[in-house]
A and B are shown apart, each in its own frame.
Chain A
C-alpha cells in the first residue's frame, strides 16, 4: 500500500511538473491566440488586446499561472479560444474517440504482435521467421503520415471499401438504430485502426521474438525440457509468460507516443480525437486547450506506466521477489 501511495505521489509530481512546463513554454512560443488572423484588416491591435484581456491572457505569465491554478482547483481547465467552449468539454468530446481508436488498435496490435513474435521465435531462423521479420522491419520503418495517406487512398479511393474519414456517416439519420450506428462506427474505424496496428505490431513482434528467444535459452526452460515437460507446455507456461513482461512494459511506455502518433492518423482520417485536438490547439495557440491536452495525456501516461509495472509483476512474479519496486519500474 505504501508503495502504491508513493507511486501515486510520484505520478502527481510528474503531472504537476509537466503541466507547469507546458503552461510556461506554450506562452513563450511566438504568437498568441488572437494574432493568427493578422492578415485580416478588421483585426486591429486594440481589438486583439481587448480579446486578450477578456480571456485573461493580458497579464504576466505568473499572474496567468496563478489564475489557472485557482481555476484548476475548482475543476475548471479554462476556456478554449479556438473551439469557443470550456476546455473540459472539448476534451470530453475528443477523449472517447481517441480511447476507442487507440484502445482498439492496442488490443489488436498486441494480440497480433505477440502471436507473430511467438511464431517467429518458435521457428527461429526459418522461412516464416525471416518473412515476418522482413515485414515487421518494413512496418517499423514506414512513417505514420505516409502510411495513413496510403491507407486512405487504398481503402477509400482505389478500392472504395471504406469511408474517407470521420467517426460516423455525415448523413446518417438522427434516429438510426444501434446496429446501424455500430456498423457505421466500425466501418469508420477500419482504416485508422489498421494503420495504427501496422505501425504498432512491428515493434511488438520484434520485442516479443527477442524476449522469447532469451527465455527459451534460460536455465529453467532447459531444466523443464530435461524433466520431460512437453515442448508446447514449456513454451507457453515457462517461456512465453515471462517473455510478455517487456512487451507489457513497452505498452505502458508507448502510450505517450501513441497519443503523439495519433496526431497524423487522426488528421488524415478526420478523426476528432485528442491528437488532432492538441495539434490544432498548438497551431491556434490555444493556451488553455494545449495545457489541458497535455495534462490529460500525462495522466494517462502515468496511469499506463503504473498499470504496466503491475501487470509485468503479475506475469513474472520473480520481479517482485527479486526486490522489484513498482516506483522504480523494471530494470
Chain B
C-alpha cells in the first residue's frame, strides 16, 4: 500500500483544496458548462426535506437543491460573520445591538418551479422547522432565534433572543430556505410522507430530475432565473448497497466518485490513471468510551468509576499503532473530543501518553494486582469487561481487537461484543455496556461538543452515554461557546480539553481522513471538512476532457428546462 506521506498524495490534497486541476491549471480558467458527475454511494437519502433529514446522504443532496442565506467559509469560523460568503442573501446588515440581522435576498432567486424566492419563505422556513409537530432535529439548533419578519419582499429580518458569537452561523448554516407555497398545506406531523419529501422543489444550483429508490437519484442543473448556473449539467447518485460494488463502479468507469475508499483499496485507485485519490480532513473521530455509571445500581461503575483505572487503560493504549494498523496513514491520532479542522481545536494539546509501565503502576496503586494468569484482580474480582462494537464497522472491529490485546498486556481481560448497528445503538441508549467503540461526526459549530460530553447530555437518552460529568469542563465549554473573541474561545476550549483528558472518560483514537476516488477529468473545488460536496456546483470538466456521458442527451436537455415547463 502506498504511504500517504508520499508527496504525490499530499500534492493531490493540496490541489483539491485550492481548486486547481491536477496539471496545475487554475480552476477559474475553465468556464464552459456541461458534463455529468456520477457519484457511487452505498447509502441513499432518507428523504429530501431538510427539517426532517437525518442522513448524511440526504444532506449531500439537499445542499445541492436548497440554499442557505450564506455559506460558512473554508476555515469553519463560526464567530460573527467572518469568512461567510453570500448565497441566497446577497448582503446582510447587523442591528446596532446585534440582536437582529437584516438579510437582503437575491432578487433573481427563483424556486425550481419558477416562483420567486421571497422573504416570506425565510420566515416560513423558521416557522416550519421550529413547529413542534414537525419534530425537526434542527429546531434545537435554532433555539436562540426568536423570530423572522419580512420587512419587504426581499428583506428578511432575523431576531435573536440573545447576542451570541455563533448566532450568525446558527441562522445561516442551520436553516435551509424552503418554499412556502408548496409546503404550507403539508401535514406537519408526517412531513416525510409528503410527496415533496421525495421530489423537492428548491432554489439551489441543481434540481431533482428523478429519484428511483434503491437505484439512483438524478439532479440536473437548474437554469431558472438569471443567476449563475452550476458548471456541471447533472449529478447522478448511483446507489449500490455493497461498498465493494459501489467502489467497483468507480474503478470500471461507470461512476466518477466514491467518497469512502478503504485503506486496502488505495493501491487499487492509484493503479488506475483515470482516477485521483483526494484526501480531505473530516470532523469525525473514533473513541473508546467508558461507562462511568453502573446502570443497575446508579452508582459509579465498579471499574470505570475509578479515574485511575481509566487513566491506566488510556496510558496502556498505543494509539499510534492502532491508527497505523487500522487506517495505515489515512487517519491521524485523535487528541481529544475535537478534530484538527475545527475552530475549537487545540493542536498543542498533548493527551495522556502511551506509557505501559505507568499504566501498570497505576493499576497496582489502585489495588488491581496481577495473578498467576497475569490477569489483575482486586478483592477476588477480575479486571474484566466488555467492549461493545458495531460489527458492521470494519475499522471499529479492528480497533477493538487491537485494544483487547493492548489491555491484556496490562492484565485486563476484555470481551469483544460485536452487534449490529441497531443492537449497538439500543444498548448504548439503555447504557448497557462497559466500554464501547464509538464514532462521532461533529458539526462545525463549537457548541456541538455539548451534545456528546457535557453533563447536560448525560441524562437518560442523551448522547453522553458514559455519563461523564465535570462542572469545570462544562463551565469552560459554556464560556468558550459564549466567547466573542476567538482567542478567548480557544483558551476556554483548550482548558476544557485538558480537563477531559485528565479525567479520561474515553480514549480518543483516530481522526480518519476522507479518502475519495475521483475521476481525473474533474476540476474540483470547495471541499470543506464538514462537506466535501459543498462546492460541487463549481466543479467543472474541461471541454477537451469530456467523455461520452458528459454530452447532454436529448431527454436530458429537455430536463434542463425550467421545472414548470418539463412537468
List chain A positions with a Cβ less than 8 A from chain B: 29-32, 35-48, 50-51, 54-55, 79, 81-85, 90, 93-94, 149, 152-153, 156-157, 160, 163-168, 170-171, 173-175, 267-270, 272, 276-277, 280, 283-285
A54 with B54: CB separation less than 8 A:
no
> Interface residues, chain B, CB within 8 Å of chain A?
36, 38, 46-47, 54-55, 132, 135, 137-138, 140-141, 189-190, 192-193, 197-198, 212-216, 236, 238-242, 244-246, 248-249, 251-252, 254-255, 419-423, 425-429, 438-443, 448, 451-452, 460-463, 549, 553-556, 559
Between B240, B439, B554, the greatest number of chain A beta carbons within 10 A of the residue's beta carbon is seen for: B240
Most buried by A among B55, B241, B556: B241
CA distance A85 to B192 in the complex (A): 8
Q: Which residues does chain A contribute within 8 Å of B216, judged by CB atoms?
A: 166, 170
Do A30 and B426 form a contact, CB below 8 Å, given A37-B54, A43-B54, A170-B236? yes
Beyond A42-B141, A84-B46, whether A164 also contacts B240 by CB under 8 A is yes
Chain A residues lying within 8 Å of B428, measured Cβ to Cβ, are 38
The 3 closest A-B pairs by CB, nearest first: A45-B461, A31-B422, A41-B451
Kindly state the separation between the CA atoms of A35 and B54 in the bound complex, as whole angstroms: 11
Q: Do B214 and A41 touch across chains, with their CB atoms under 8 A apart? A: no
Residues of A contacting B241 in the complex (Cβ-Cβ under 8 angstroms): 267, 270, 276, 280
Question: Of A50, A81, A173, which one neighbours B556 at CB under 8 angstroms?
Answer: A173
Residue of A with least CB distance to B190: A54
Contacts A164-B249, A170-B255, A272-B215 supplied; 7 other A-B pairs, CB < 8 Å: A164-B254, A168-B215, A170-B215, A170-B236, A270-B241, A276-B214, A280-B241
Which residues on the B side are within 8 Å of A163 (C-beta)? Answer: 254
Pair B555/A84 contact, Cβ less than 8 Å? no
Cβ–Cβ contact A84 & B192, under 8 A: yes
On whether the beta carbons of A174 and B559 are closer than 8 Å, the reply is yes
* Contacts A45-B460, A45-B462, A163-B254 given; does A173 touch B555 at CB 8 Å: yes
With A35-B426, A38-B425, A170-B236 already in contact, the answer to whether A272 and B214 are too (CB < 8 A) is yes
**Cα distance A94–B241 when bound, in Å?**
15
For residue A166, which residues in chain B have a CB less than 8 angstroms away from its CB? 215-216, 238, 240
B512 to chain A, nearest CB (A): 14
Q: In whole angstroms, how far apart are the Cα atoms of A30 and B238 in the complex?
A: 31
A170 touches B254 (CB 8 A): yes
Contact A79 B549 (CB under 8 A): no
Q: Known contacts A163-B254, A170-B216: does B137 contact A40 (CB below 8 Å)?
A: yes
**Which chain B positions have C-beta within 8 A of A40?**
54, 137, 441
Instruction: Give min CB distance, A317 to chain B, whole Å.
Output: 45
A93 engages B140 (CB within 8 Å): no
Measured in the bound complex, the distance between the Cα atoms of B440 and A222 in whole Å is: 74
Q: Do B54 and A42 touch across chains, with their CB atoms under 8 A apart? A: yes
Q: How far is the CB of B511 from chain A (nearest CB, A)?
A: 15
Residues of A within 8 A of B189 (CB): 54
Contact B236 A171 (CB under 8 A): yes
Q: How far is the CB of A279 from chain B (nearest CB, A)?
A: 8
Residue of B nearest to A175 (CB): B555
Q: CB within 8 A of A38: which of B192, B198, B429?
A: B429
Nearest-Cβ distance from residue B57 to partner chain A, whole angstroms: 12
CB pair A173–B554 under 8 Å, yes or no, is: yes
Contact of A268 with B245 at beta-carbon distance under 8 Å, contacts A44-B140, A166-B240, A170-B254 already known: yes
Chain A residues with CB under 8 A of B132: 50
Closest-by-CB residue of A relative to B241 is A267
Within the assembled complex, what's the spacing in Å between the Cα atoms of A55 and B245?
33
15 contacts between A and B (CB under 8 A): A31-B426, A36-B425, A37-B425, A41-B463, A42-B140, A45-B460, A47-B135, A47-B137, A51-B135, A54-B189, A156-B252, A171-B38, A174-B559, A269-B245, A270-B241
- Residue among A41, A44, A46, A270 making CB contact with B239, cutoff 8 Å: A270
Residue of A at shortest CB range from B48? A84
Given contacts A31-B425, A174-B559, contact A38 B463 (CB under 8 A): yes
Alpha-carbon separation in the docked complex, A46 to B137 (Å): 10
Q: Which residue on chain B has the smallest CB distance to residue A167?
A: B215
A283 touches B422 (CB 8 A): yes
Choice from A42, A157, A171 contacting B137 with Cβ under 8 Å: A42
Contact among A157, A269, A283 for B251, CB-based, below 8 A: A157
Known: A171-B549, A272-B215, A283-B422. A79 touches B193 (CB 8 A): yes
Q: How distant is B452 from chain A, measured CB to nearest CB, in Å?
A: 6
Chain A residues with CB under 8 Å of B242's CB are: 267-268, 270
Most buried by A among B249, B427, B556: B249
